[in-house]
Amino acid sequence: MDFFEAEARAKKRTSRLVTLFVLAVAGTIAAGYFASVFLLAQANSRGHRHRYYDDSPSYGQSAPSLWQPRVFLAVTLGTLGVVGLASLFKWHEFSTGGSAVAESVGGRRIDPHTTDLRERRLLNVVEEMAIASGITTPVVYLLDEEPGINAFAAGLTTSDAIVAVTRGTLDKLTRDELQGVIGHEFSHILNGDMRLNLKLSALVFGILVIGLAGRGILWATLRGRVRSDRNSGGAVIAIAAVGLALLLIGYVGYFFGRLIQAAVSRQREFLADASSVQFTRNPGGLTGALKKIGGFALGSSLASNKSAAIGHFFFAQGFESNFGGLWATHPALIERIRAIDPQFDGKMFEPPEVVDVTHESFARAGFAPGAFAPPKPAPAPTTTATPFAIVASVGTLSPENIANAETLLAAVPPRLREAARSPTESTILLYGLLLDGDDATRERQHALVASRAGSEALRTLGELEPSLQQLTPAHKLPLLQLALPALRNLPPSALPQFLGTLDELVHADGRVSTFEFALQKILTRTLALGRTPSAGIVQIYSFNAVVDEINVVLSALAHTASNGGLDPATVFASGARELKLLEGKLRLLSPPECDFVRLDAALDKLATASGPIKQRTLIASAHVVGADGCILIAEAELLRAIAAAFDCPMPPIQLAAA
């Protein structure tokens, strides 16, 4: 299953979720209606005829009709209003991205410069998988107060995604097992599960809020009754009855909401497990983590009740499931292990000694990283840069890409990796990536940095330059990926100056290279989605509506490929053939008609197109750059910029020598 198929499947699941949610709300309305009729009937029997009753000739003479349209209308409008507003409130709370979710459950962002070896190992694993999959490196959080083994990913897009793990995960798992867990979470990121999880949380909260309101009324009333005088006892009982009714109504809806939550979650866990094994080609890593969950007394349990609302986010069941497992958000551990290893005998991991987690960490007790399994050799990378392979790699992880990412990161000088993780030095690093090879141009760029960012920034740039000169072109965009989490933390007031300085550095030599265009496009698109994840809205569903923009994209790629000696018309035609719906409507534009200014505008419009349009445009683009059977660095940079503009994570491409 490719990225676009996963995206379409996620949309189908969202439609199914909305249907189930409507049924749950309908059940809540029905419960509220019958409760209201009952309470009003009690009031009527006591001589207090209510204005909502339509047919009773006089109170106390006959039972009220079971069908009361006005009551039904009032209950329906009230329920929809409360549920809708509560769901919108929760959605707005999460709309800032994955960091809001992690911080809501007590997550601590891991310092990119941490000296803790276990935290450093976790960051390395996440960085490797991010580079391998082509997504922005997720921010990593640690749940310090959670000794169980668990993890989750959250976010609205790949640009604002976070990965969070518990303290127990760091203390108890080897690197292979940790990689298996992180691979599972990357599957959720790449398969579009995160956004669905957030929608699910918001909808379930909307149903639950009625029960919470009832509980609050009931509690306040019961406490107030103790201090009230005897003459107000009837009013207190009436209010308490309303609170009790709301509590029961809310929890009827919540019961069905939790059933929806569990049903939507369970099957996705099997898919994520399978994807993790496919990514790492090491089933023992993932099954080892699952066996340790089954072997340790704490397992994957979560101590904080704040995590209950997002229990379906986690790697494993975080809370005890009630109602015979109906509320279980995850399949049983044995089922998950046997889906990977059919020969599993049911025997879980056996800790060599009992650990008092209240007074002693698992690391000090002998469960240090790497204690249980030797590291496996990384598979050798292979070259599969055919057009279809390039597009098929979008939104996926493979052992070859992970090995390639490890090689790329190992070749990046440590000083540059350190700068990429720094909120203050990451901007200067990007300035350094744009330094020109011509001495005179470089001097102008130095002067620009000094005037725009200050002498201290120029001094730091001077420190980075020797390491920057060691970089090959293939390392520059992966280094940008590493720097994006730090750059996302720039205050909004600092962004215009930073982006303006970058633009001046790009134009210092009077021209724009493909790398410079790619860097600016990937950076601005990722920062925009990171700050406003809900901005990626589909507005265009017709190929004909974007034929001019597709012409610009394919023409720009064709002229880039022609720099290697190819005929632009020939390579353009190789891509145009992949767009059958636009046959006869595509034509090669002249270089001025598809320059970087026009390409930038075209990509912005195509970013609002539907998945099928993006997919076919990417396939056509890959055929243009791969027309001669090899892909050069300029072609790869431009293709990755196009994929980034489409919000399609593309791994680094295996390059041919220039």
pLDDT digits (tens, 9 = 90+) for 501-544: 999 999 999 999 999 999 999 998 888 876 666 555 667 889 99
Give the domain extent around 628.
Answer: 387-396+537-645
Q: Which pLDDT score is estimated for 458? A: 94
Residue 120 lies in a domain: no
Structure tokens that stand for 147 in this block:
């000794």
Question: Are residues 85 and 205 both part of a single domain?
Answer: yes
Using the predicted structure, report yes or no on whether residue 385 has a pLDDT greater than 70.
no
Query: How many domains does the chain fold into?
Result: 3
575 vs 247: which has the higher pLDDT: 575
Q: Are residues 546 and 640 in the same domain?
A: yes
The active-site residue out of 127, 185, 549, 635 is 185
Q: Between the ranges 79-93, 329-343, 447-461, 631-645, where is the mean pLDDT highest? A: 447-461
| Contact between 633 and 516 (Cβ < 8 Å) | no
User: Is residue 406 pLDDT above 60, yes or no?
Assistant: yes
Q: Is residue 318 part of a domain?
A: no
Residue 204 DSSP SS3: helix
Mean pLDDT along residues 547-552: 94
Is 566 inside a domain boundary?
A: yes
pLDDT band at 30 (very low <50, low <70, confident <90, very high): confident
Q: Contact at 8 Å (CB) between 419 and 425?
A: yes
Band (567; pLDDT cuts 50, 70, 90): confident
Between the alpha carbon of residue 25 and those of residues 20, 82, 248, the distances in Å are: 9, 11, 14
**Location of structure tokens 């980034």:** 644
Q: Identify the domain boundary among 238, 269, 300.
A: 269
Residues 495 and 542 in one domain: no
Same domain, 542 and 462: no
Model confidence band, residue 10 (pLDDT cutoffs 50, 70, 90): low
Residue 397 predicted with pLDDT over 80: no
Q: Of 235, 269, 303, which residue sits at a domain end?
A: 269
Are 275 and 253 a contacting pair, CB within 8 Å?
A: no
Task: Answer yes or no: do 63 and 208 share one domain.
Answer: yes
Domain match, 15 and 64 both: yes
Residue 540 DSSP label = B
- Whether 90 shows a pLDDT value over 90: the answer reads no
Question: Does pTM surpass 0.85?
Answer: no
Q: Are residues 475 and 550 in the same domain?
A: no
Chain centroid, CA 147 distance in Å: 24
Domain check: are 571 and 636 in the same one?
A: yes
Asked if residue 30 is part of any domain, the answer here is yes
Q: Where is the domain boundary, 269, 287, 305? A: 269
Higher pLDDT, 127 or 319: 127
Q: Is residue 45 in some structural domain?
A: yes
Report the share of the chain in percent with pLDDT over 70: 79
| 56 part of a folded domain | yes
Within 13 Å and on the Cβ side, how many CA atoms surround 306? 12
Q: Tell me, what's the pLDDT at 563?
A: 65
In terms of domains, do 476 and 417 share one? yes
- 429 and 392 together in one domain: no
In a domain, 518, yes or no: no
Q: Clarify whether 185 is annotated catalytic.
A: yes
Q: Is residue 295 part of a domain?
A: no
Q: What is the DSSP string of 61-126?
A: TSPPPS--HHHHHHHHHHHHHHHHHHHHHHHHHHTT-HHHHHHHTT-EEPPTT---HHHHHHHHHH
Edge-to-edge, what's the strand order for the sheet holding 162-166?
108-109, 139-143, 162-166, 151-154
pLDDT, average across residues 400-415: 86
Shared domain for 449 and 594, answered yes or no, is: no
13 with 90, same domain?
Answer: yes
At 7 the pLDDT is: 55
| CA-wise closest residue to 185 among 101, 88, 263, 259 | 101
**Buried-state track 617-654, b at ≥16 Cβ within 10 A, e below 16:** bbbbbbbbbbbbebbbbbbbbbbbbbbbbbbbbbbbbb
pLDDT of residue 58: 47
- Cβ neighbours for 137, distance < 8 A, ≥ 6 positions apart: 126, 127, 130, 131, 481, 482, 484, 485
